[in-house]
Chain A
Amino acid sequence: MILISHLSKKYKNNAEYSVVDLDLKIDEGEIFGLLGPNGAGKTTLISMLSSLIKPTSGSFSINGLTFQKNANQLKQLIGIVPQEYALYPTLTAYENLYYLGSMYGLKGKQLKEKINYHLEVLGLGKFSNKKLDTFSGGMKRRVNLIASILHDPKVLFLDEPTVGVDVQSKNVIIENLKKLNTQGTTIIYTSHHLNEAEQFCTKVAIIDHGRIIIEGAPKNLISQYPESHNLEDVFLTLTGKALRDHA
């Protein structure tokens, strides 16, 4: 279970807070979607939860552990799929995964089997010895996902894992995430694909200007707004149609 209490983040050169006094509880086994327009604070929230940036104030715990007290234990417990590929382009898919898996303490036969298993499941078995810089965007996204799940994390954070990929890759990624969830992994993911989130998530929170506007199961949210037919309608109703460009 993830418990977030009064969590805030203000970047040095920004006048406004990116996340403001946020309280949230995510239960174990949930597929939780963090939705919001550009600059709403989704990536900042995920970055704080995965120890990449320091909160300005507030606290959170994951399965009762905090980074201040149990950093390595917590890092072993979670997996992070960053928005960027965050892989070595001149190494093969297998070499990338071998190295990143080793950093979780995996080794030997167990590591090799896990790599081969996930590469096969995500349709990359025959490309395992190809360098990553020859891969398409969709293939890189899948390797990026495997690198974060080799150690069987209890909680998986995904920052827009399906952005810029073809439909087939997106489908494979979502199906595998569902499978992971059935095996007990809690999934927290951010996305701009609201239809995907509506189908995929058991619960979503719409976040804007660093605050959670609404939270609940997608169907319940849609039913709260009779004029809305889907999650996108709810989203536009709550966040407006104005462009959210940032520079």
Chain B
Amino acid sequence: MHKLWASTYKELLLLSRDIGGLAILFVMPLVLVVTITLIQDSTFRSINDNKIPILWVDFDKGEVSKNIYDGLAESKSFNIIDKESDSEAKELVFKGKYQLAIVIPVNLSSELEKKVNLNVEGLLSKFGLEEETPQTEKAGLEKKEVILYFDPATQMAFKNSIKNGIDKMIFKIETQTIYKAFQSQITDDETEAIFDTESFITFKEITPSIGENEIIPNSVQHNVPAWTLFAIFFIIVPLSINMVKEKSQGTFVRLRTNPVSYLTVLGGKTVIYLAVCLIQFGLMLGIGVYLFPILGLPSLEVSGKIPLLFLVAIFAGLAAIGLGLLLGTVARTQEQSAPFGATFVVILAALGGVWVPVFIMPNFMQTLSNLSPMNWGLNAFYDVFLRDVGLIDLVPELTLLFLFFVITTSISIVYNERKNAV
């Protein structure tokens, strides 16, 4: 026990003497969380302060284009800039000056109205209420295309959301035009409300709640756990560097001649780096609760969750440390450990769902995701932050994280013993 204490104390001294390293260890994760949360906050807000400028070319100048224009304006997400020329809009978007241009074709409103009227008249004639529409009139109608130009660098998610939005608006306009056509055939009084054109089916989202308080997900509740976990796992970089440094200094070689087990040496490192993880985590929670509201972000909601959050942080920290110990044991140089460690954490984060939610990944990647300790950690954090679960529900994820620590540490010890067997 005394050897473990001495090892822990030594690690504490080594860490405390590296002020620059210590600052990076604590400050950079905080900067990361603040930056990412500020960036991602807009995607969670229903009212967006930062409008995306888009180009609008209207060759229709009719009711349909007006409705689409109004729909875009009402969304409050766009700053609509009018352009007269299709080619100019196309060039500006393809050069990356704008994300999107929408070109409304000529006579869209009148042609749509004509088409709907023809359909309605055709339908009514089947019931004997109208004269039959001549086929030549129907044949004269051409299909209309609303043209969208996207900057090639635009992300697919943004493209899809725009396409869906415009599709929905056009569908609504078409429906309303049909109702209107029927109304004009049935009555001459335009003020008479025969059809209720409002949507009959609407959506209502039910969110989890604690007592009477609903848990409404926001950018902070999503980002703090994800990026805190990312920062916790980044501990593998300084930890593995610490171990490689000991090898190059010769101190690891000296320790091999001492009557001390590798487990004790690793134990000292585990205790100190776990403490670093927990301090880091505490600071992250602190900025979530106190700094974010000052920056105009929602405050991190942690009331009643702190013990469980720290419990998850302990197990996530252990998993990260296990990986760091393994990397430090296997790597021979800092040139091996640092880039590998950093890249591997990014891969684990990607697999774990830190950037892209796991449910939208391809099946194969979803299977791989189940093997990422970051996925287990993230689920555990989301369980506490957003799903308000109890300790029992966390047991599977905590067990996986702990097993990961035990397995990686055991591999480190076995590898070290085999490599240095006498």
A interface residue numbers (CB < 8 A to B): 48, 50-55, 67-68, 71-72, 75-76, 78, 80, 82, 84-91, 95, 98-100, 102-105, 107, 131, 147
Alpha-carbon distance A38/B5, docked complex (angstroms): 41
B13 touches A91 (CB 8 A): yes
- Name the prevailing secondary structure of the B interface residues: helix
A147 touches B254 (CB 8 A): yes
B251 touches A54 (CB 8 A): no
In the complex, chain B residues 364-422 whose Cβ is within 8 Å of any chain A Cβ? 420-422
Kindly report which residue of chain B lies nearest to residue A74, judged by CB atoms.
B259
Partner of A89 from the list B249, B254, B256, B421 (CB cut-off 8 Å) is: B249
B260 located at the interface, meaning its Cβ lies under 8 Å from any Cβ of chain A in the complex: yes
Partner of B3 from the list A91, A98, A105 (CB cut-off 8 Å) is: A105
Question: With A54-B422, A82-B250, A99-B9 in contact, do A107 and B14 touch (Cβ < 8 Å)?
Answer: no
| B364 shortest CB reach to chain A, Å | 39
| B252 shortest CB reach to chain A, Å | 9
Against A, the Cβ 8 Å flags (1 = close, 0 = not) of B1-27 are: 011011101100110011000000000
Give the total number of A-B pairs whose CB atoms are below 8 A apart. 83
Most buried by B among A55, A91, A95, A102: A102
Question: With A82-B254, A86-B249 in contact, do A72 and B10 touch (Cβ < 8 Å)?
Answer: no
Kindly report which residue of chain A lies nearest to residue B246, judged by CB atoms.
A88
| A147 shortest CB reach to chain B, Å | 7
Alpha-carbon distance A172/B385, docked complex (angstroms): 64
Partner of B422 from the list A67, A78, A89 (CB cut-off 8 Å) is: A67
Known: A86-B249, A147-B254. 5 other contacts (CB 8 A): A53-B422, A85-B249, A89-B249, A99-B7, A104-B258
Q: Which residues of A contact B253 (CB under 8 A)?
A: 52, 82, 84, 86
Partner of A103 from the list B13, B259, B422 (CB cut-off 8 Å) is: B259
Question: With A51-B422, A95-B10 in contact, do A105 and B259 touch (Cβ < 8 Å)?
Answer: yes
Question: With A87-B251, A95-B13 in contact, do A103 and B421 touch (Cβ < 8 Å)?
Answer: no
B422 touches A100 (CB 8 A): no
Q: Which residues of A contact B251 (CB under 8 A)?
A: 86-88
Partner of A50 from the list B13, B17, B257, B260 (CB cut-off 8 Å) is: B257
B259 touches A75 (CB 8 A): yes
B28 located at the interface, meaning its Cβ lies under 8 Å from any Cβ of chain A in the complex: no
Alpha-carbon distance A100/B13, docked complex (angstroms): 14
- The 3 A-B residue pairs with the shortest CB-CB distance in the complex, in nearest-first order: A102-B6, A86-B250, A84-B250
Alpha-carbon distance A91/B10, docked complex (angstroms): 8
Kindly report which residue of chain B lies nearest to residue A78, judged by CB atoms.
B257
Q: Which residues of A contact B141 (CB under 8 A)?
A: none
Alpha-carbon distance A52/B421, docked complex (angstroms): 8
Partner of B256 from the list A48, A52, A91, A99 (CB cut-off 8 Å) is: A52
Question: With A54-B422, A91-B14, A103-B3 in contact, do A80 and B254 touch (Cβ < 8 Å)?
Answer: yes
B255 located at the interface, meaning its Cβ lies under 8 Å from any Cβ of chain A in the complex: yes
Alpha-carbon distance A104/B14, docked complex (angstroms): 20
Alpha-carbon distance A71/B259, docked complex (angstroms): 8
B6 touches A90 (CB 8 A): no
A102 touches B249 (CB 8 A): no
Alpha-carbon distance A100/B250, docked complex (angstroms): 13
B6 touches A103 (CB 8 A): yes
Alpha-carbon distance A149/B256, docked complex (angstroms): 16
In the complex, chain B residues 255-272 whose Cβ is within 8 Å of any chain A Cβ? 255-260
| A100 shortest CB reach to chain B, Å | 7
Q: Which residues of B contact A98 (CB under 8 A)?
A: 6
| A174 shortest CB reach to chain B, Å | 22
Q: Which residues of B contact A86 (CB under 8 A)?
A: 249-251, 253-254
Q: Which residues of A contact B2 (CB under 8 A)?
A: 102, 105, 107
